[in-house]
Structure formats: structure tokens, C-alpha cells
Amino acid sequence: MSWIENRLEEGLIVTSLDWAINWGRSNAIWPMTFGLACCAIEMMAVGASRFDIDRFGAGAFRATPRQADLMIVAGTVTYKMAARVKRLYHQMPNPKYVIAMGACTIGGGPYYKHGYHVVKGVDLVVPVDVYVPGCPPRPESLLEGLIRLQDKIRHQTIAKDPLNAAKEAALATA
Amino acid sequence: MLAQSATPENIPENVQLVFGLLLFILAGTAMILAALTAGRFLRPTLPHPEKDEPYECGEPTVGSSWVQFDLRFYVVALVFVIFDIEIALFYPWAVVYRDAGLAGLWDMLFFFGVIVVGFAYLWRFGYLSWVRATDEAPVRPRVRPADALGRAARQWS
């Protein structure tokens, strides 16, 4: 993806660069406000003072997808809204992450059986990184989801994976 | 002249100033270029056709993004030139007023005359009234209806 990715094998430079890039990315995740239903209230509570999300660096909620790197899908995704969710996800610049908050976005939630208007899970529309269960999840749960996402970001690496070369060679010859 | 080492006492002050300014500009440019270059190599590049679409809250876009700028904003520009830029250009003249003499006075009066034409335009066409709506006469019928309905309307309005 980036120019430097997959060029250098693991070493001092790459791991230091990794640490710096991941530190920057994980401590400044700016969410896009995507409150669709009741989970949005819990997301607002997370943004407020008691369960402060700003102490994780993620307090700057952007209204536009152009400046956001995290889309917290908070609420039921209906078929009408799903097209907009997909379009907004595509309009976000990389690197982008998605948190599926609440039971409705995980697998349809309470609307799974009779909800003819509900998309049964937002992962049918956009790729999801972290699922936060709950109906609605407590603000602490959403913060736990954010911390899990930060861990996921910190494990990213730009180093060349020696296994990848072997796999690609095997695929090329096969 | 003997070859001298370039110590701070030997370099004349105006040359020192120029060097300082050049160094400042160079350092500023270098900082910006370093940040942009680091970004160019470290950021992911995944172009997607929908990423280039204009943002319209998730809807497919309707109409063109290029709309005509309202021409009446020229009044804002005119007021700005007449008040702000005139004052800004009067200050240096006021500083050298005594040394400029009569020629400076006539020069500045010519400039002021041009400005006054614009000022007269603004004044005549009412752009200087603070609240423009109250300058017009209130819309009211000239004739008071004298029939019962008119009397009731006036009594109960």
C-alpha cells in the first residue's frame, strides 16, 4: 500500500518505524459520527465527560468522512441506510477502521427474526475490525472496543514477511 | 584588502540580515518538505473511484459543485477597499507628511478623490445604512376601508 511497505525485512529501522507509525495512528483515531439509533446515545455518553474518549486521543469526532479514520457504526443498519454506509466508507481515506457497535450491527440483533428492513449485520456492507456486543453496550464496553482496536493497530507492521515471498513463489509456480 | 576571516564583526550588518532571512526561509521550507516527503513514502495509497466522488452526506451527488458566486458580494469588497485599505495607505503618508511637502499632499488628495467617488456610490445607494429594511416605507394600503369588515379589522388587529 505505502511505498515503504513490504520492502525491508525485519530489523532495527523497520521496527522503530513501525513503533512510531503505529504510535501515531493508534493514539489519534478520529471517529466519524455515525450514530444511527439507540447506540448513538451510548456513543454520546462516551464522548462526554464521565467516560471521556478524548483521553484516548479519539475525542475529535469528525462530521465528514474525509477527515475521519474510524467509523463507529452505532445503531441499526436498514437497507435504505446501507447504501449510504457503503458510500461513506468508500469516501474515507486510508487507513480506515470500522467498529460495529451494538447487537444490531453485529448480526441483526433483536431484528434478526422479523426485521425485513434490517441488514443482518453491518459486516455484510463494510469490513469490520472490532465488534462491540451489547444492546446497547455500556460506554465502558465501547472504550474496551476502542482499546482492542488500538492493540490491533499497534500490531500492524510494514516489514516484509519472509513467509509471504515463499507463498507467492509457491503460487506463481503452481 | 587583506583576506579576512568571516567573523561576525567583519560581515556588514545588512549582509547579516539577508543571510538570516535566507536561512529562516530555507529552514521553514525544509521542515514542510520533510513532513510531506515522509508522508509520501509512509502513507497508504489505495485509490478507489468512489473516493473521488464529492461528499453529499452519503447520497449520490445531484447537480454540479460549481455554482455561480453571488455578484452582490462586490459591495463587501468595495466597502473593504474604501475603509480598510484607504486607512492602511494613509498611515505611511501621515508619517512622512512633513517631508513629502506639497507634492505629497496633491498626490494623496488625488488618491482620496478616487476613494471619495466609491464612497459617494455607497452612500447614495444606501449600502451604508445599518439595517436596510427599515429604510423603506412600510407596506400598508393607502386607503382605510370604512366598511364594517375594515372597522372590525382595525379594532381587532
Confidence at residue A153, expressed as pLDDT on a 0 to 100 scale: 94
- Tell me whether residues A2 and B58 touch, CB distance under 8 A: no
pLDDT of B126:
81
Would strands A130-132 and A31-32 be described as parallel, antiparallel, or unpaired? unpaired
Residue A89, pLDDT above cutoff 70: yes
Question: What pLDDT sits at residue A94?
Answer: 87
**Boundaries of every domain in chain B:** 71-124
C-alpha to C-alpha distance for A115 and A108, rounded to whole angstroms: 8
The verdict on ipTM greater than 0.85 is no
Which residue does chain B place closest to A88, by CA atoms? B58
Calpha distance A67→A62 (Å, rounded): 6
Residue type, A173: T
Closest CA to A134 of A62, A66, A34, A41: A41
**Do the Cβ atoms of B50 and A87 come within 8 Å?**
yes
% of chain A exceeding 70 in pLDDT: 97
Residue with more model confidence, B109 or A173: B109
Question: What is the C-alpha separation between A165 and A6, in angstroms, rounded?
Answer: 10
What is the predicted pLDDT for the residue at B133? Answer: 57
**How much is the pLDDT for A20?**
92
Picking from A2-6, A75-79, B15-19, which range would have the lowest pLDDT averaged per residue?
A: A2-6
The kind and range of the H/E element at A22 are helix A12-26
Q: Does A67 touch chain B (CB under 8 A)?
A: no
Cα atoms found within 13 Å of the Cα of residue B10, Cβ hemisphere only: 7
Contact list, B48 vs chain A (CB under 8 Å):
90
pLDDT one digit per residue (tens) for chain B, 157 residues: 667 777 777 778 888 899 999 999 999 999 999 999 998 988 888 888 888 888 888 888 888 878 888 887 888 888 998 999 999 999 999 999 988 889 999 999 999 999 999 999 888 888 888 765 555 555 555 666 677 777 777 777 6
8 Å CB contact of B51 and A95: no
Closest CA to A72 of A98, A40, A95, A91: A98
List the single range of A53-57, A127-131, A157-161, A168-172 with lowest mean pLDDT: A168-172
* Average pLDDT taken over every residue of chain A: 90
Phi and psi at A54, nearest 5°, equal -70, -20
- Identify the CA nearest to A60 among candidates A52, A132, A51, A126: A52
Mean pLDDT of A3-11: 80
- The pTM for the full model equals 0.70
* Predicted pLDDT of residue A140: 95
The confidence score (pLDDT) of residue B68 equals: 81
Residues 6+ apart with CB under 8 A from B35: none
